[in-house]
Amino acid sequence: QVQLVESGGGLVQPGGSLRLSCVVSGLSFRSYAFQWVRRAPGKGLQWIAAISSDGNYKTHSDSLKGRFTIARDNSENTLYLQMNSLTVEDTARYYCARDFYHETTANDVFDIWGQGTLVTVSS
Amino acid sequence: VITQSPATLSVSPGETATLSCRASQNVNNKLVWYQQRPGQAPRLLIHGASTRATGIPARFRGSGSGTEFTLTISGLQSEDSAVYYCQHYNNWRGTFGPGTTVHIK
């Protein structure tokens, strides 16, 4: 069956870095764009970044101020999120999600999600 | 900017919940609804403002256009206790609303 499994979260000190991974199985990874979304404690969902199927096009939330970078390795069916200069405000559960384009409504939807990996930034 | 109201809604089983989502500019029909139950990943409910995703029961209904959208949940069940988010995604960028928390009494 289709699975998206995130890993790489954990406790990190302010100013530190982490690289999250999302291993995808059960679908043709190289055929789809993917996204990262997070949810901080007591807050709502926040869109973080998107990457095209071939990895050549990437966008990131302006609010991250260039600290995060999305990447993918189609030979390893893996999506990545490199996070630098972490602050306590980055404490959240981070989700990867498949981006599926519905031609009937011309909408991109995040239709398959992982269970997330928890990142805690604290001294 | 996407706003949602109310922030919290408490309804009895079997009743109808009406959730609103407002965009600061015309998003056409590029409006998606997600449900996030406690401890779970988000789940796609509605896309194109009114088209139910695969497997979503008919008691979830999306409507609206332009800047004003509504998610109506009829015949509420205990499993509908969740946070509901609307989202606009366009040109490779996404914006979620702050969410509406639905409590089942």
Residue A93 has pLDDT above 90, yes or no: yes
pLDDT at residue A104, as a whole number:
87
Give me the percent of chain A exceeding a pLDDT of 90: 93
The confidence band for A106, taking pLDDT boundaries of 50, 70 and 90, is confident
Give me the percent of chain A exceeding a pLDDT of 70: 100
Backbone dihedral angles phi then psi of residue B45, each to the nearest 5 degrees: -110, -55
In the block, which residue shows the tokens 């139950």? Answer: B37
Rounded to whole angstroms, the Cα distance separating B96 from B73 reads 20
Give me the percent of chain B exceeding a pLDDT of 70: 100
Count other C-beta atoms under 10 Å from residue A11's C-beta: 12
Residue A105 has pLDDT above 90, yes or no: no
| DSSP annotation of A77 | T
Give the minimum alpha-carbon distance from B58 to chain A in angstroms, rounded to a whole number: 18
Residue B63 has pLDDT above 90, yes or no: yes
Residue A82 has pLDDT above 90, yes or no: yes
Residue among A35, A37, A111 minimizing CB distance to B53 = A111
Rounded to whole angstroms, the Cα distance separating A16 from A33 reads 28
- What is the C-alpha radius of gyration for chain B, rounded to an integer number of angstroms? 13
pLDDT at residue A24, as a whole number:
98
In the block, which residue shows the tokens 């954990």? Answer: A10
Instruction: Say yes or no for a CB contact (<8 Å) between A47 and B83.
Output: no
Residue B14 has pLDDT above 90, yes or no: yes
pLDDT at residue A90, as a whole number:
98
Rounded to whole angstroms, the Cα distance separating B45 from B51 reads 8
Give me the sheet containing B68-73, strands edge to edge. Answer: B2-5, B17-23, B68-73, B60-65
Q: Is B31 exposed, middle or buried (0-12, 13-18, 19+ CB in 10 A)?
A: buried
User: Which residues of chain A are within 8 Å of residue B36 when distances are taken between CB atoms?
Assistant: 39, 45
Interface residue A116 vs chain B (CB under 8 A) = yes
- The encoded tokens of residue A82 equal 């490199």
Residue B12 has pLDDT above 90, yes or no: yes
Q: Strand pairing of A117-121 and A10-12?
A: parallel
User: Which residues of chain B are within 8 Å of residue A110 when distances are taken between CB atoms?
Assistant: 32, 34, 42, 44
- What stretches of A8-91 adopt beta strand conformation (E)? 10-12, 18-25, 33-39, 45-51, 58-60, 68-73, 78-83
Residue B82's closest chain A neighbor by CA? A44
Residues forming beta bridges with residue B10, ordered by sequence position: B103
Mention every residue, 6+ apart, whose C-beta is less than 8 A from residue B36: A39, A45, B42, B43, B82, B83, B84, B85, B99
For chains A and B, CB pairs below 8 A equal 74
In the block, which residue shows the tokens 């969902």? Answer: A45
